[in-house]
Structure 1
Amino acid sequence: MSRIPAEVEQLRSRTRTFIHEVVIPAEPHPGDYLDEAVLAELKAKAKDAGVFAPHVPTEWGGQGVPTEFWSPIFQEAGYSPIGPAVLGCMAPDEGNMHMLAQIATQEQKERYLAPLAGGDVRSSFAMTEPHPGTGSDPSALTTRAVRDGDDWVITGDKRFISGAELCSFFIVMAATDPEDADGSATDGSGAAQAKKGQAATMFLVDRDTPGVTVGKPIHTVDRTIAGGHPYVHFDEVRVPASAILGEAGKGFAYAQVRLAPARLTHCMRWLGLARRALDTALDRAEHREAFGDILARQGLAQELIAQSVIDIETSDAMITKTAEVLDTDAKEANSRSSIAKVYCSEAVYRVIDRAIQLTGGDGVSDRLPLIQYLNDVRPFRIYDGATETHKFAISRRASSKRRRQVAAGAPRLDIVEEAR
């Protein structure tokens, strides 16, 4: 990785100080959501401290940190489970901001990106659907949008739509007529998956648009995203053509503008929380004595600590390597982000689980926040493409790459000459 610029290092230092001195003391009891009034106060303090919206371009009120250097800042924010929300870099808003900045028209940016980047409103990304609709496989998309004169009419059901209960607008993925397709589609793992003749389009839909209903809540174990993960229903929702995000028919391709960075920023934030969990375990191991010696000097505890350090440093290196190409090589970024997402989602879980083991009974109680951390990170192995989906894509890419190498003249290495 290139040397971190001085201004980014200064922002990281300010962020670390702000998280430790302002945010951590304001954390809710483990398992509780942060009070909205408290969140608003903390956001105002973050703006005053010059640490709010590190990823947002300066023209929209952010700190303008280049994508390549997001990780050190996001990890500092993620050291507290509420840190990313306070700093305006939490999902789903962070990913939506990135996509709006890349794709939206100037008018859309002023209407949606500006208030979102300023922390004044919330947003949701409406893609996942009830079975047999789309989840890890976008080719199963059942929500449809059809032209009606100069308007589009959207009909379909979504679920697990994070933040929907508090959002002001949705970015809705809907299947559209094949004549609007660009001929490409990509799933959460980066693999082409569209059914023949199926295209998709993204729409910006205000929550108060007639026909939009936030439905039954889905109770999940995590507590980091305010606004829940409910069902959302679109019943003949009429929107103008100006509501299209980007171009009609290119929704699957645009999804990658959001998904590859969003997968990686999840890794960054959760890695910060893994560091917090390890620090908690290290403090316990240094001050708890058992069987005649402190835990930190006992082999079994040292094994747990060492494996966690290895998991954190390996995850950090993967994130850094992927961040280097996010803005320059979309195909390579997709591939690397799949690998990083699989490894980091599993590694972060292992680190927190080991921390619980090292802290014993307190680790599984609400005397420490570790068991809630474990609940918060467990869904990461499913959302943004389940681990198994990514492994499928990673394997296919590896096989395809090797076939091309052999076809281009590389020797096959599995051929064994039989003895006569």
Structure 2
Amino acid sequence: MDFDYSKRVTELQQRLTLFMEQYIYPVETEYYEYVESSDKPWESHPLMESLKEKAKAEGLWNLFLPRSYGELSPGLTNLEYAPLAEIMGRVLWASEVFNCSAPDTGNMEVLARYGNEEQKKEWLEPLMNGDIRSGFAMTEPDVASSDATNVETSILREGDNYVINGRKWWTSGAMNAHCKILIVMGKTDPENSDRYKQQSMILAPLDTPGVTVVRPLNVFGFNDAPEGHAEIILEDVRVSAGNILLGEGRGFEIAQGRLGPGRIHHCMRCIGLAQRALEEMCVRASSRTAFGQPISKQQSVREAIAQSACEIEQARLLTLEAADKMDKGGNKAAKDLIAMIKIVAPSLACRVLDRAIQIHGGGGVSQDFFMARAYSLSRALRLADGPDEVHMMQLGRNLAKYYADQV
């Protein structure tokens, strides 16, 4: 693996960093104050559209799609995208500015990889243009969704339509005022003897009769506006049979194709959050005096800084290795490395952010610094896209079998 970034990636890193310094960091606090005080919290900050136009004009748009998607893609590999996602991830809402935010990136990859031409025309193009947002509806409150075969939402064929019935929650992105389309996972063949052929994914426009957004769900008290995580009831939701993705019984196949890149993108952004936390804890420790000396001279503080730097670099290298493996062998070949980094990166971010909060004292848990919000996101990511325990169970199973087979 080549650890030197190409000239193109280095230039993109520089341009992204400059963009963040000029346009994102100066309005970060203002952005949160707006969504918290607005009577329309699910509307994006008025600056968002102008920031998107600036990003488009500077060629910093849709950077996430691998080059295998042809003209839809800017031509970057997963390995090339990793340091760019890290930069965007330093501010929780910045990825949207570059049209690289979840769940839209995962949904766009699904449509690009598995959608037919009509689906791409109707939904992928406006998503790629940033004209609309999207939601992903998989998790359900009434079953343990860490085992996705438990999903109970029904998707039943009736003539030229499918009828959807079920209850979803943690439907990421669905609260946003610009969310127009949901990708819904449910069962089209619940009696199939193969538990992994029972499920399908289908496109359901959010304004379809029978789709009811019940409430937003908070994460540690934050509502994550303007994206939000919705609880949704689907009651006799009737959509065209042409809205099925790839075909009946292909839901798990699509999920694996979607969640691999989605998981590693989260990890890339987590590393950006952790790196920023490390930098800010160093500045804070050097600028605050306690007991007659800068707190950076306290051994416990130096250990926190050193440990954080070591852990960040380990996670960064593992992320790059997983991305490289995805590029060379595909998502399936990289599944163990993706599982490893999904276990490692959110926990790493939690630990580093916790240390940064501690070094910042009371300020660290306040709205004056980014750490409290970032910690809530990082902790939630230990559950999103599969909890740590499921990834460890599957990774342990795969490794045990692999090494046992070598004997």
TM-score of the superposed pair, with normalisation by structure 1? 0.88
Deviation larger for 220-229 or 320-329: 220-229
Asked whether the equivalents of residues 52 and 62 of structure 1 are also in contact (C-alpha less than 8 Å), the reply is: no
Match of 1:175 among 176, 181, 187: 187
Q: Please give the alpha-carbon distance, in whole angstroms, between the structure 1 residues aligned to 2:358 and 2:32.
A: 19
The alpha-carbon distance between structure 1 residues 225 and 13, as it changes in their structure 2 partners (threshold 3 A), is farther
Q: Please give the alpha-carbon distance, in whole angstroms, between the structure 1 residues aligned to 2:161 and 2:11.
A: 48
The alpha-carbon distance between structure 1 residues 308 and 382, as it changes in their structure 2 partners (threshold 3 A), is same
Secondary structure of the corresponding residue to residue 91 of structure 2: coil
Match of 1:91 among 82, 88, 102: 102
The alpha-carbon distance between structure 1 residues 61 and 138, as it changes in their structure 2 partners (threshold 3 A), is closer
What is the match of residue 369 of structure 1?
Answer: 370
Asked whether the equivalents of residues 79 and 324 of structure 2 are also in contact (C-alpha less than 8 Å), the reply is: yes
The alpha-carbon distance between structure 1 residues 300 and 179, as it changes in their structure 2 partners (threshold 3 A), is closer
The alpha-carbon distance between structure 1 residues 120 and 180, as it changes in their structure 2 partners (threshold 3 A), is farther
- Give the residue type in structure 2 aligned to 1:203: I
- Give the residue type in structure 2 aligned to 1:102: R
What is the match of residue 237 of structure 2?
Answer: 237
Asked whether the equivalents of residues 61 and 118 of structure 1 are also in contact (C-alpha less than 8 Å), the reply is: no
Asked whether the equivalents of residues 151 and 186 of structure 2 are also in contact (C-alpha less than 8 Å), the reply is: yes
Deviation larger for 59-68 or 123-132: 59-68
2:165 is equivalent to residue 155 of structure 1:
yes
- Give the residue type in structure 1 aligned to 2:185: M
Deviations 1:117-164 (A, max 9, x none): 1111000111001122x5111110100111112221111111110111
Q: Please give the alpha-carbon distance, in whole angstroms, between the structure 2 residues aligned to 1:180 and 1:203.
A: 18
What is the match of residue 358 of structure 1?
Answer: 359
What is the match of residue 249 of structure 1?
Answer: 249
Structure with bigger gyration radius:
1
Asked whether the equivalents of residues 19 and 79 of structure 1 are also in contact (C-alpha less than 8 Å), the reply is: no
What is the match of residue 54 of structure 2?
Answer: 45
Secondary structure of the corresponding residue to residue 325 of structure 2: coil
Deviation larger for 393-402 or 349-358: 393-402
- Give the residue type in structure 1 aligned to 2:184: V
The alpha-carbon distance between structure 1 residues 139 and 145, as it changes in their structure 2 partners (threshold 3 A), is same
Q: Please give the alpha-carbon distance, in whole angstroms, between the structure 2 residues aligned to 1:180 and 1:6.
A: 51
Secondary structure of the corresponding residue to residue 229 of structure 2: coil
Asked whether the equivalents of residues 32 and 223 of structure 1 are also in contact (C-alpha less than 8 Å), the reply is: no
Q: Please give the alpha-carbon distance, in whole angstroms, between the structure 2 residues aligned to 1:60 and 1:39.
A: 26
- How many pairs align? 392
The equivalences for 1:260-339 within 5 A come to: 260-327=260-327, 328-339=329-340
What is the match of residue 204 of structure 2?
Answer: 205
Q: Please give the alpha-carbon distance, in whole angstroms, between the structure 2 residues aligned to 1:388 and 1:165.
A: 28
Deviations 1:151-183 (A, max 9, x none): 2111111111011122100011111126989x5
The alpha-carbon distance between structure 1 residues 239 and 366, as it changes in their structure 2 partners (threshold 3 A), is closer
Deviations 1:259-318 (A, max 9, x none): 011010001112111111111111111222223332223321110000100111011011
Deviations 1:163-214 (A, max 9, x none): 1122100011111126989x5xxxxxxxxxx37xx51111111111222121
Q: Please give the alpha-carbon distance, in whole angstroms, between the structure 1 residues aligned to 2:302 and 2:242.
A: 59
Secondary structure of the corresponding residue to residue 170 of structure 2: coil
- Please state how far the C-alpha of 1:402 moved relative to its aligned partner: 2.6
- Give the residue type in structure 2 aligned to 1:106: E
Asked whether the equivalents of residues 199 and 251 of structure 2 are also in contact (C-alpha less than 8 Å), the reply is: yes
2:147 is equivalent to residue 137 of structure 1:
yes
Asked whether the equivalents of residues 218 and 224 of structure 2 are also in contact (C-alpha less than 8 Å), the reply is: no
Identical positions, percent: 36
Q: Please give the alpha-carbon distance, in whole angstroms, between the structure 1 residues aligned to 2:102 and 2:330.
A: 23
2:74 is equivalent to residue 63 of structure 1:
yes
The alpha-carbon distance between structure 1 residues 158 and 32, as it changes in their structure 2 partners (threshold 3 A), is farther
Asked whether the equivalents of residues 163 and 225 of structure 1 are also in contact (C-alpha less than 8 Å), the reply is: no
Secondary structure of the corresponding residue to residue 323 of structure 1: helix
Secondary structure of the corresponding residue to residue 232 of structure 1: strand
Deviations 1:219-259 (A, max 9, x none): 22355562311111211112222101112211101101110
Q: Please give the alpha-carbon distance, in whole angstroms, between the structure 2 residues aligned to 1:4 and 1:279.
A: 22
Q: Please give the alpha-carbon distance, in whole angstroms, between the structure 2 residues aligned to 1:345 and 1:386.
A: 11
The alpha-carbon distance between structure 1 residues 32 and 94, as it changes in their structure 2 partners (threshold 3 A), is farther
TM-score of the superposed pair, with normalisation by structure 2? 0.90
Deviation larger for 295-304 or 116-125: 295-304
What is the match of residue 416 of structure 1?
Answer: none
Asked whether the equivalents of residues 347 and 378 of structure 2 are also in contact (C-alpha less than 8 Å), the reply is: no
